[in-house]
Chain A
Amino acid sequence: MTMPDMQQNPTWFIDQLTLYQAANSSPEAIKRNFLIRIAEFELIMADLRNKKSGDPMQHELILGRRGSGKSTLLRRIQIEIDEDAGLAERFIAINLAEEQASIYRLSDLWFEVLQELMTRLNSPVKLRDFDDFENNQSYARYLYAEIHQLLERCGKRVVLLLDNLDRILQNFDDDGHLLRETLLNYNDLQIIGGSTRMDEHFWRYDKPFYEFFRRHRLEGLRFEEIHNLLNHWSAEMNLPLLHDYALRSRGRIEAIRILTDGSPRALQFFIQVLMHDSTSYGFDYLRKVMDRATPLYQERLNNLTPPQRKIVQEMAFWWEAAPTKILVEKCRMESKLIASYLKQLEQHGIVETIPTGKKNHLYRIAERFFNMWLIVTQGNPDQKRRAKYLTLFLESWYDGAELKALTQKHLGDLRDGLVSYDKAMVLSKGLVHSKFIGVEERDELIEYTRKLDKDGQESELPRKFENIVLLEIWNGIFENLSEKIERVIQFKNGEDLEWFLTNLLYLEQRHLALSLFESEQHGKILRDRYELLYYAVLILTQKTEDNLLLKIPPEVLPTVQEIVEKVKEKQLFYSKKE
């Protein structure tokens, strides 16, 4: 297989993979391509193999997000039961994948199972009419009795594979009690269900299926699994580039794993990007790859109720883990309501809760790539936040050198007037916040991008590097802080720093400010230029040895005290806001 020009056809890999998967749905191909979820598969199969005829059946519930491999696992179990002589002798696997849409009552389920059994066992049964029964439940009981008799006759048990079990049970209502009653009174049917969420049917004490299933959570893929998957695709699709790619680019694979939360389906979209020299194409290219994920994520979004969707979107725009308070404000919904929706969203695997050790937890979108996709596609994108996400994305995607190369290319395009203002703006914003971009490059980016702004509409490009540093501190990001502050001071040449230093104090960085005033390199200049502020810092850090208060010239003392008071007030304000 030869690789085409990626720029002309940016979704080439995904197209090929889709084609490959569509053409390889035979049992043989499914077995060959079954590389993940092996532990769950083996566990379920081993237990099934060890079952003797009178042993109770273990009902299983496989929990995982869309695209996590539930359906494939169910299909793989089906194939194993069909093909393994020892199992086929004792069990009949029934997978109602296609019929599932028409099942909304227990009688529908038993009807489909019965039809399948009659065909498989070649034992047609003349069924009584629905009209013969006084109600639907009697009909359901009758259908199960027929199933039971067929199974007794052939001496086998059924393994019923039901994807979206939560949706089926959701419609069952009273039938749920009857289903549980039947499963407990008869021992000839085992359910293996897939579900995207831990529905209340499985955990509410007053619901029939409380604690009834053994659960298997399909977690995100581990590094080794991604490695195996890439090598497999490399061999199957003749793509040497992917062979041992994970070992060569461990950092990048880890980044993908974090961004996709290890979701196998989302992973495919990133493989596309791996397939070429990523610095050559810039943001447009990434954007196209992201658009390709739309069917997967749109479906995920469509499955939510409007209020759930609202919360998910606001949470996505916020990007960072958000407390309920923020969501109340953004969604304009009551906190009780928000809390109950958050619980549901967590069950869907869409939102994850981050315990804080305090009363209020934080919440964020579990899959970071889904979060980015929401920001890009779901309108009303607050430009500032968009820039923030882009920075994080670019930094997790490219390493420092690549990011610099990307910046140079973008700068070149800007200089040569090759990009429109709109496009330039988005990428410039992503780049200017990056820690890998130097002050000069940053200012150049801003300058060139501004020049394109004929209408003067944009005012949000950061003007001051120190703003970013402060913003980071406010967000609790302290990485390479002293280095960044050093750059601020050098860039400013020691001038015009009062605002910056005061804000450091507002953000409770008293000792950081003190260290600047006491630094060998800049201390003297700073102390001379910002004398009053220096005194305030000494008071705030209780460095009042040697009768400092007495030494401060009386004419400036009130001003110093004013500064101290103001700092205290602001500190309180910012800490409250947090």
Chain B
Amino acid sequence: MNSDWKGPKIIIGPTATGDYYYPRPQIEANIWDEIQKGSHVLLAAPRRVGKSSVMQAMLKNCPSDTRCVFKNIQGVQSESEFYRQFFELILQCLSKFEKDKHWLSNLFQHLNIEEITLEGVKFGEKKPSEYAEEINQILPKIGQQQLKIVLLLDELPEVLNNLHKKGRREEASSILDRLRQWRQSPDIRNHFSLVLAGSVGIHHIVKALDGRTADINDFSIMPFEALTRNEAGDYIAWATKDCTVQYDEHLLSYLLTKINYFIPYFINLMLDEINKAARKASHSSLEFASIDAAFEKIVRNNDHFREWKNRLFEYFAREESAFLNETLVYIAHRHAINRRQLHDLALKHGKKDTYMELIRGLEHDGYVVELEGDFVFVSPFLQAFWKADNPIYDHA
């Protein structure tokens, strides 16, 4: 058995934390800046770009007067369950302050709290009956102190979407209302910040629930940029340090050209696939062909990307998805589409008045990105998949 083989330091799927987290100091700093200004923050990016990792990393960099808690709340299934968890998170966050704060011990005593752990809060015999009301009570008290709490909530949009899908729109709507009240309460301003992230676009959901997105307009939206080419090079060097498979300057450059758009998840898929193949062949040195083979294998096992296409047809009306799909097929074959060509396609599909909004939707959901006035695929993997799935494009 070859037990000396060392694979890259990557994690595929779950949140990259601890040593596996590749620091994104600029994004973290931007979020902290917003929090310091008293804003609430929405991390807007599709799945798999590293939102949760950044949120978890922020726990370690709190300013001295601030405490944060992070929680994935995806399993929440009712409005009351949400308030219970929200309340417990506030308590958990407060419990991170020094216990000698007099007002805090009084508060915990008043609330009849026996123990606070990651699993939840253990109350004595008298338990809170109405968690939303408890939150109403506790927030102004926090506002009176010289401290700040930050709740980092992952997957709230998913919770709202699940409630909506189950015909419990009222409950989802109430959660949004309550959250808005708490955010905007003057008593708590600058003492409480909410950082939300979610894989399902919260704007889509809020619009579906209330028909407008005004309820979340006060959030400061934090875009989640991909790594630059230099950062991606650093990331690969960092992830493959001391590994069996090494990338010299030429291989690294070729790999970066192949990946093109540097989201850690896609880089990880490539590093993993290359490592697997090398290990299987017991051959640690790479060639350009090894990188090509890994790329093709990832595209061929296209369940990574099939869903992107399905989603297009699920989320958009028929004519809209036809227009967007043709645009993507066009880009897949021609590598880019400029505004004139886009306009031409829009006219063909009768989308003269809405096409830019639709294209911005694609951009927001991580399909395309604007590059010097042209729109190109965010990921060459997705482009290769789209082309393989639509091998013929007859547009003159």
Contacts from A to B (Cβ < 8 Å): 38-39, 42-43, 45-47, 49-50, 52, 54-59, 137, 141, 145, 148, 174, 177-187, 198, 202-206, 208, 210-217, 347, 355, 357-359
Contact = CB atoms under 8 A, between A and B. Distances in A.
B3 A184 contact: no
Interface string B1-18: 111011100011111111
A203 B304 contact: yes
29 contacts: A39-B279, A39-B280, A42-B1, A45-B3, A55-B19, A55-B20, A56-B15, A56-B20, A57-B14, A58-B11, A58-B12, A137-B77, A145-B120, A174-B77, A177-B75, A177-B77, A177-B162, A180-B72, A181-B75, A184-B74, A202-B303, A205-B199, A205-B307, A206-B161, A211-B13, A211-B47, A213-B12, A358-B392, A359-B390
Given A42-B3, A205-B311, A52 B19 contact: yes
B307 A181 contact: no
A59 B15 CA distance: 11
B158 interface: yes
B357 interface: no
Most buried by B among A205, A212, A216: A205
B383 to A, nearest CB: 16
A49 B2 CA distance: 13
B242 to A, nearest CB: 10
B3 A358 contact: no
A409 to B, nearest CB: 44
B207 interface: no
B19 A58 contact: no
- Interface range for B: 35 or more
A347 B200 contact: no
Contacts of B275: 43
A358 B5 CA distance: 42
B392 A47 contact: no
A202 B388 CA distance: 22
Contacts of A213: 12-13
A57 B2 CA distance: 22
Contacts of B11: 56, 58
B303 A347 contact: yes
B225 interface: no
B13 A214 contact: yes
Contacts of B265: 211
A54 B19 contact: yes
B237 interface: no
Contacts of A355: 388, 391
A205 B13 CA distance: 13
A43 B47 CA distance: 26
B6 A46 contact: yes
Nearest to B71: A185
A214 B272 contact: yes
Contact of A203 (B73, B303, B390): B303
Most buried by B among A184, A203, A355: A184
A216 B7 CA distance: 15
Given A42-B1, A148-B119, A215-B301, A208 B74 contact: yes
A64 to B, nearest CB: 13
Interface in B63-94: 71-75, 77
B118 interface: yes
B178 interface: no
Contact of B307 (A141, A177, A187, A204): A204
B379 interface: no
Contacts of A43: 7, 275-276, 279
B360 interface: no
A382 B56 CA distance: 63
B154 interface: yes
B276 A39 contact: yes
A187 B14 CA distance: 10
A393 to B, nearest CB: 29
A359 B272 contact: no
Contacts of B320: none
A217 B388 contact: no
B279 A42 contact: yes
Contacts of A177: 74-75, 77, 158, 162
B52 interface: yes
Given A55-B20, A210-B47, 4 more contacts: A54-B19, A58-B14, A145-B119, A187-B17
8 closest Cβ pairs, A-B complex: A178-B75, A181-B75, A203-B303, A39-B280, A145-B119, A214-B12, A212-B13, A181-B74
Contacts of B280: 39
A195 to B, nearest CB: 12
A52 B9 CA distance: 12
B72 A56 contact: no
B48 interface: yes
A211 B71 CA distance: 20
Contacts of B120: 141, 145
Contacts of B14: 56-59, 183-184, 212
Nearest to A216: B276
Given A205-B47, A355-B388, A54 B279 contact: no
Interface in B286-338: 301, 303-304, 306-308, 310-311
B276 A184 contact: no
Nearest to A204: B307
A177 B391 CA distance: 37
A28 to B, nearest CB: 16
